[in-house]
Structure 1
Amino acid sequence: MRAAIIPVTPLEQNCSLIWCAKTMKGALVDPGGDLDKLKDAVRRAGVTLEKLLVTHGHIDHCGQTGILAKELGLPIEGPHEADRFWIARLDEDGRRWGLHGEIFEPDRWLQDGDRVTVGEVELEVIHCPGHTPGHVVFFNRPTRFAIVGDVLFRGSIGRTDFPLGNHADLIASITRKLWPLGDVTFIPGHGPVSTFGQERIDNPYVSDAAVAGQGSARLPLIRSK
């Protein structure tokens, strides 16, 4: 499996191009905008796209996913259907944030425990609510690699002050669903790559010491992207 990060939109969202090195079949994860930039990256990598994957329904992550799907004739998989609320307001949020968003209907809503394939690569789907109710994480077990969207960042966690956000759910998603996977390298929705092991050491919100010392219910709200 191979992966490349292509930041898109003025919010510098980490769209990921992932592909199977054997078949050169690939997928874009969270193609939120800057579609010409994304198509050029795919062309330069020599990858044939077979689908689009979405972690959650916020506009910087999926605002132009439907447009790209129609243009290239590709299916959309994800997020969990609990994010229908967010996808249904992409046009409205686009006006609010100064971005172009278009409502779409995924070809496949994802559930916890589902599998998605890219070429011969298999990704496990982990439902991780909190930042949004329908947020999912994509995990490739053989390579110990995950794409976590806005659940977790280097030294930070996702915002929960948007509609339907839930701080306790987010902490539970990270500590009960992600940490048990072991030391995994992850691409976040914004910012640099990190590992679960590093975040358990020094992330001020979900490190082992922070969770043990403060209790998840009392952790302060972080205002990150």
Structure 2
Amino acid sequence: MTLIKDRWFTVQEIGNSTFAISEYGHWEKVHSFLLLGDREAALIDTGLGIDNIKRITDQLTSLPIKVLTTHVHTDHIGSHGEYNEIYVHEGDKDWLVNGIRGLSIEQIREHISRDITIPTPETFNPNTYQPFQGEPTGLLKDGDVIDLGNRQLEIYHTPGHSPGHISIFDRLEKYLFTGDLLYDQTPIYAYYPSTSPVDLVDSLQRISNIEDVMMIYGSHNSLGLEKNILKEVKKGIIYLKENKLVKFGTGLHKFNGFSVQF
């Protein structure tokens, strides 16, 4: 079900009081997610920052919103500055405050502005685009539970793609939000110096063992993956480990439904 006609964002209800806010006009096909409780709401990431995602969340809820950052890369923190409560894992705090390590502003601006297929808002200028930097409201750690009232979100520290990457399990809907740890169509990557192939594979193994997952929602490409993909993840992990491929430079590894690149 599609909600809200908007020039940049596509809004879909993916479950009870659960919304995907997608940016299909950009080559990365980024998804952010708004989860409503009876007392508070959680916004998982804030998108690219090409347009202001708060325009959408204001239409969907009047509840106070906590921003839960899966990780500090440009395409996940774009509208962080629009919200009062921002949370991040300690492993990515330095990037949020001082800038993303290993990427120049020139690289970021080139990355954000290429292969856009729909008109961007007049407020977007790739030549002056500046990623959010600022102090978080608080830090997340493994095992934390965010209580929205009638809805609890469990935090899993799943490093590899970034040091402080997290995944979030919604105990109510049984949805697992995996950020850039697991999605389809394009490779999950851990080939930058700031990434860790070993941590990424360990994190994939960990989420593959979470019980009662009904759907997986990554931050890119297809909106929603069936739970059976976790069985394919387990098979892929065995293959990578047995063949000693979990290290920088081994390249692209394709499996049934997903791929990784080291």
> One fold, TM greater than 0.5?
yes
Residue in structure 1 matched with residue 41 of structure 2 by the alignment: 26
TM-aligned CA distance change 1:157 to 1:137, over 3 Å: farther
TM-aligned CA distance change 1:64 to 1:83, over 3 Å: same
Match of 1:153, SS state, is coil
Amino acid at match of 1:82: G
Match of 2:35, SS state, is strand
Match of 1:152, SS state, is coil
CA contact (8 A) 1:186 1:196 kept: yes
What is the number of equivalent residue pairs in this alignment? Answer: 210
Q: Output one character per residue of 1:46-95: Cα deviation in whole Å (capped at 9) or x when no partner.
A: 44242211110111101431x112xxxx21122x1111343221597554
Match of 1:82, SS state, is helix
1:96 to 103, 107, 124: 107
Amino acid at match of 2:196: N
Structure 1: unaligned runs, 5 residues or longer: none
Residue in structure 2 matched with residue 14 of structure 1 by the alignment: 31
Residue in structure 2 matched with residue 112 of structure 1 by the alignment: 142
Residue in structure 2 matched with residue 218 of structure 1 by the alignment: 245
Residue in structure 2 matched with residue 191 of structure 1 by the alignment: 221
1:169 to 183, 190, 199: 199
Matched ranges for 1:25-44 at <5 A: 25-34=40-49, 37-44=52-59
For 2:187 and 2:199, locate their aligned partners in 1 and report how far apart those are by CA, in whole Å.
Answer: 12
CA contact (8 A) 1:131 1:165 kept: yes
Give me the TM-score of the superposition, normalised by structure 1. Answer: 0.80
- The structure carrying a bigger helix percent of its residues is 1
For 1:6 and 1:94, locate their aligned partners in 2 and report how far apart those are by CA, in whole Å.
Answer: 26
For 1:68 and 1:33, locate their aligned partners in 2 and report how far apart those are by CA, in whole Å.
Answer: 13
- Report the CA distance between 1:39 and its aligned residue: 2.6
CA contact (8 A) 1:59 1:93 kept: no
For 2:78 and 2:54, locate their aligned partners in 1 and report how far apart those are by CA, in whole Å.
Answer: 16
For 2:150 and 2:105, locate their aligned partners in 1 and report how far apart those are by CA, in whole Å.
Answer: 35
For 1:186 and 1:96, locate their aligned partners in 2 and report how far apart those are by CA, in whole Å.
Answer: 30
- Report the CA distance between 1:126 and its aligned residue: 0.3
Residue in structure 1 matched with residue 188 of structure 2 by the alignment: 158
Q: Output one character per residue of 1:88-144: Cα deviation in whole Å (capped at 9) or x when no partner.
A: 215975543224312111111111111112243111110001000100111122321
- Report the CA distance between 1:7 and its aligned residue: 2.0
Amino acid at match of 1:51: K
Residue in structure 2 matched with residue 81 of structure 1 by the alignment: 90
Q: Is the aligned partner of 1:146 residue 2:176?
A: yes
Moved more, 190-199 or 91-100: 91-100
Residue in structure 2 matched with residue 68 of structure 1 by the alignment: 82
Give me the TM-score of the superposition, normalised by structure 2. Answer: 0.70
For 2:171 and 2:201, locate their aligned partners in 1 and report how far apart those are by CA, in whole Å.
Answer: 22
CA contact (8 A) 1:64 1:100 kept: no
Q: Percent identity?
A: 24
Amino acid at match of 1:191: N
For 1:120 and 1:36, locate their aligned partners in 2 and report how far apart those are by CA, in whole Å.
Answer: 31
CA contact (8 A) 1:90 1:103 kept: no
Q: Is the aligned partner of 1:54 residue 2:86?
A: no
Structure 2: unaligned runs, 5 residues or longer: 1-15, 110-128, 253-259
CA contact (8 A) 1:182 1:196 kept: no
Point out the structure with max Rg over C-alpha.
2
For 1:18 and 1:56, locate their aligned partners in 2 and report how far apart those are by CA, in whole Å.
Answer: 18
TM-aligned CA distance change 1:90 to 1:212, over 3 Å: closer
Q: Is the aligned partner of 1:181 residue 2:210?
A: yes
CA contact (8 A) 2:152 2:172 kept: no
CA contact (8 A) 1:132 1:164 kept: yes
